[in-house]
Amino acid sequence: MPEIFPAAAELTAEDQKLVTLARSSRARVGAVEGAAVRDQDGRTYAAASVALPSLAVTALQLAVASAAAAGATKLEAAAVVTEASTLDGGGHAAVRDLSADAPIHVAAPDGSLLGSVTA
């Protein structure tokens, strides 16, 4: 699992928006996780985790897939709202498929920033 490093500073307004979108996606359907990403053009994509008998996708994987399906070729940043203490490996890998250095901010369900993953 990728290591989450404590946040060194407050989030920018744009990154805080990602956390807000991720919280909303999670709350709307009562999902385990919510996530949001911002692409190279500033467009945002939000998603909640899906756990069906025939399909399991993390919120971050689904947000990245939505961005890629809309034509995104690079991500500027991502955020995940979760009760877990670690970032899922599949979501981390999906973000890295489009961006080697985009920060992934991890927040608790109340929106408080737990830390960020930068590698």
On whether residue 1 sits in a domain, the answer given is no
Which amino acid is it at 76? E
Structural domain count, the chain: 1
On whether residue 42 sits in a domain, the answer given is yes
Binned at pLDDT 50, 70 and 90, residue 39 comes out as very high
Q: How many residues does the chain have?
A: 119
Prediction pTM value: 0.91
Token digits of residue 13: 């307004």
pLDDT digits (tens, 9 = 90+) for 57-97: 999 999 999 999 999 999 999 999 998 878 889 999 999 99
As a three-state string, the secondary structure of 11-32 is CCHHHHHHHHHHHHHHHHHCCC
pLDDT digits (tens, 9 = 90+) for 103-113: 999 999 999 99
Print the domain residue range for 110: 13-117
Q: Is the pLDDT of residue 28 over 60?
A: yes
Q: What pLDDT is stored for residue 10 in this prediction?
A: 78
On whether residue 33 sits in a domain, the answer given is yes
Of 94, 31, 39, the closest CA to residue 61 belongs to 94
Output the domain CATH number for residue 58: 3.40.140.10
Token digits of residue 119: 């590698």
Q: Is the pLDDT of residue 4 over 70?
A: no
